[in-house]
Amino acid sequence: MRWRTRSLNAPSPIQQFGPCGRIMKNSAMVMQIQDPASQRLTWYKPPLTVLVIKKVHDATILVPFVQLVHWLVHDKSMVVFVEAAVLDDTLLKEYGDFSSVRERLMTFRAGTDDLTDKIDFIICLGGDGTLLHASSLFQQSVPPVMAFHLGSLGFLTPFEFNNFQDQVMNVLEGHAALTLRSRLQCVVLRKTTEDGKDKKKPTTILVLNEVVVDRGPSPYLSNIDLFLDGKHITSVQGDGLIVSTPTGSTAYAVAAGASMIHPSVPAIMVTPICPHSLSFRPIVVPAGVELKIALSPDARNAMWVSFDGRNRQALQHGDSLYVTTSVYPVPSICAQDQISDWFDSLGECLHWNVRKKQKQIDELSDLTHSSSDTLEELDANNHEERPSDT
């Protein structure tokens, strides 16, 4: 039997209903999560190592990057990790201050070196892609992430870099709210031959935004079967399907017509891509369910799947994709708090509900009076110009 995880991030409900009824207890129950608004960062020992992730090939981030690592190494005596590709940037040679810290930096290569239990917290310099990259580096427990807005959109990067020293100090001292951004655990199971000789090991990938299934280069519609906890829900005929986290609801999903969900809401969003049906609307399902996606038996072509825009691969007849909520969220550090950060991002990045203000009653009255005066003047002028009867 294949092992799976269940997760339900919500306040624990009362489990007794009236004098006689109550919830039947079983091993799969998860009902002991604190109120998300009370989730705050604390350190049980002082953080000593920090991973700095910067947007690659962006010259505008070099100055903030050099300032940050110089301060962390010399002023805070911290061990700083960076990707080896970052130090390969030839433009860094132009910064004399960087040569004094370059030899003291620890390097690693993504996909080769394991960072598990080596990093105390993460600082991202760039756009939303840097946070997605940080998530991909840790396929189990993720250290707290502090993201500075130095990219294009910046929906997931709430911190401004101007006074970075004070803001990082607040985090190091444990004065910060957290948003636990749930991730999706995606397991790809390949079809095995009848003799069982060509059995392939399942592939497991954790995503922060979404997993996307589409028709790839084929000119035909996708024909995909969708199951929820083993029950066939529907067949998708269209360009594809987006399965997203609440964090990912403001990414590809919202562009495909889905609702925007606060990242603390325990849910999985299922959004069709250009469905050939007028009634196929996006749906939200509980975070604890397991989704299975597979090609319909009569599908004309393979389906293609990508994970946070990466690791794109084809799924053939007999292959299956299982998706559920992971027990390893991304602890994103808030600049203010969970509510303020999210609504600020909606307004500043997506211009949510931006329109001109409706005029007040007294302003409308002034306009009405002026319009009435103008009409009376026109009537008077018309009366004077009218020829008299003789």
pLDDT, one tens digit per residue, over 306-327 is: 999 999 999 999 999 999 999 8
Contact at 8 Å (CB) between 177 and 39?
A: yes
Mean pLDDT of the chain: 85
Which of these is catalytic: 128, 308, 319, 341? 128
Contact at 8 Å (CB) between 92 and 62?
A: yes
Cα–Cα distance for residue pair 225/218, rounded to 1 Å: 18
- Collapsing DSSP to helix, strand or coil, 342 comes out as helix
7-17 average pLDDT score: 51
Q: Is the pLDDT of residue 85 over 70?
A: yes
Residue 208 token pair: 């922060």
Residue 6 pLDDT: 47
CA 63 to chain centre: 27
Residue 380 pLDDT: 67
With a CB cutoff of 8 Å and minimum separation 6, the contacts of 298 are: 223
Residue 289 pLDDT: 92
Residue 212 pLDDT: 97
Q: Is the pLDDT of residue 7 over 50?
A: no
Angle (nearest 5°) at CA 344 between 338 and 348: 150
* Closest-CA residue to 128 (of 89, 154, 109, 162): 154
377-387 average pLDDT score: 63
Q: Is the pLDDT of residue 37 over 80?
A: no
- Collapsing DSSP to helix, strand or coil, 354 comes out as coil
pLDDT digits (tens, 9 = 90+) for 48-74: 999 999 988 888 899 999 999 999 999
Residue 69 pLDDT: 94
Taking each helix axis from N to C end, the angle separating 62-70 and 164-172, rounded to the nearest 10 degrees, works out to 50
Cβ of 116: how many Cβ atoms within 10 Å?
10
CA 190 to chain centre: 28
Cα–Cα distance for residue pair 116/372, rounded to 1 Å: 75
Most confident of 17-26, 152-161, 219-228, 361-370: 219-228
133, 211, 264 from 349: Cα distances, Å: 20, 23, 19
Residue 336 token pair: 């203010």
pLDDT digits (tens, 9 = 90+) for 150-209: 878 889 999 999 999 999 999 999 888 899 999 999 999 998 876 666 678 899 999 999
Residue 129 token pair: 């892609």
**Regarding beta strands 303-307 and 79-83, do their DSSP bridges make them parallel or antiparallel, or are they unpaired?**
unpaired
* Closest-CA residue to 53 (of 153, 142, 167): 142
337: annotated active-site residue? no
